[in-house]
Amino acid sequence: MKIVAGVGENKNIEKAAKKVSFPVKLVESEEEFAELFFEDEAQAYVRGSLSASILMEKLRSSYENIYRASFLEIRGNKFLLAPVGIDEGDNLLQKLQIIDLCADFLKKIDINPKIAILSSGRDQDRGRSRKIHESIAQGELLTRIIRNKHQAKHYFILLEEAIADQMNVIIAPDGITGNLIFRSIVLVGSGKSHGAITLGLDRTFIDTSRSLDVDGYIRALKFAKYISEL
């Protein structure tokens, strides 16, 4: 068995593949990657630096409700951040699906889910704009809905408090915001990415940024192997 990984314009994935202790098959097109994925030819699949939009379109032709959750690490604290796809988490139903899928994944690796809901302002910011008011209201509603089956708290815009409290699922207001949080933590700050688990599939697919360094891709390859062996 092997890991399949995609090579696009960022060649750091090639260097990473040479530094891990297990076989990695590198492919250079989204078409070949998807063909191997649907034929179930490997132990796990890592996007590497191929196009996310093209690959996700191919996956969604066969899987209806799939979402990505980045597995991040800050100062030893590990957590899932979702949604991180810019076209994911646009409404309440999608967020509910993402939360349940994240919780199921953490339980699979023997971690008790603790859900942090984020919105676009502090509690006292209600009414400052329609967008902020609606985001806060949705955050409150989402928290009330999931509290009957998950440990959950609405942190409003206070991401730093959610991380300090060691919440292990952080739900951004939408996929665009989640993607910006990811880039701020990993590509600008000192946080580490282990890749994004793609939820709602029947096999292991780890999404990765096209901007990762070699160490980032090594972590993603190792994470893919670990998840596939559970």
1 pLDDT above the threshold of 80: no
- Per residue in 178-210, pLDDT (tens digit) is 999 999 999 999 999 999 999 999 999 999 999
- Per residue in 31-48, pLDDT (tens digit) is 999 999 999 989 999 999
> Which residues lie closer than 8 Å to 45 by C-beta, 6 or more apart?
3, 4, 5, 33, 36, 37, 203, 204, 205, 206, 224
- Per residue in 61-118, pLDDT (tens digit) is 999 889 999 999 998 899 999 999 999 999 999 999 999 999 999 999 999 999 999 9
Return the domain boundaries, the chain: 1-63+201-230, 68-194
26 pLDDT above the threshold of 90: yes
Tell me the pLDDT band of 127, cut-offs 50, 70 and 90: confident
145 pLDDT above the threshold of 90: yes
Please give the backbone phi and psi of residue 92, each rounded to the nearest 5 degrees, phi first.
Answer: -60, -45
Q: Does domain 1-63+201-230 have CATH number 3.40.250.10?
A: no
Where is pLDDT greater, at 31 or 126? 31
Tell me the pLDDT band of 218, cut-offs 50, 70 and 90: very high
DSSP conformation class of 107: H
- What sign does the dihedral 174-75-190-159 (CA atoms) show? positive
- What sign does the dihedral 191-48-15-44 (CA atoms) show? positive
Superfamily of domain 68-194: Isopropylmalate Dehydrogenase (3.40.718.10)
The helix (run of H) or strand (run of E) holding residue 125 is none
| Tokens found for residue 63 | 């899987």
> Which residues lie closer than 8 Å to 155 by C-beta, 6 or more apart?
116, 117, 118, 161, 162, 167
| Tokens found for residue 59 | 């996956």
pTM: 0.92
- Per residue in 161-182, pLDDT (tens digit) is 999 999 999 999 999 999 999 9
Least reliable range by pLDDT among 58-62, 142-146, 169-173 = 58-62
Residue-level pLDDT at 19:
97
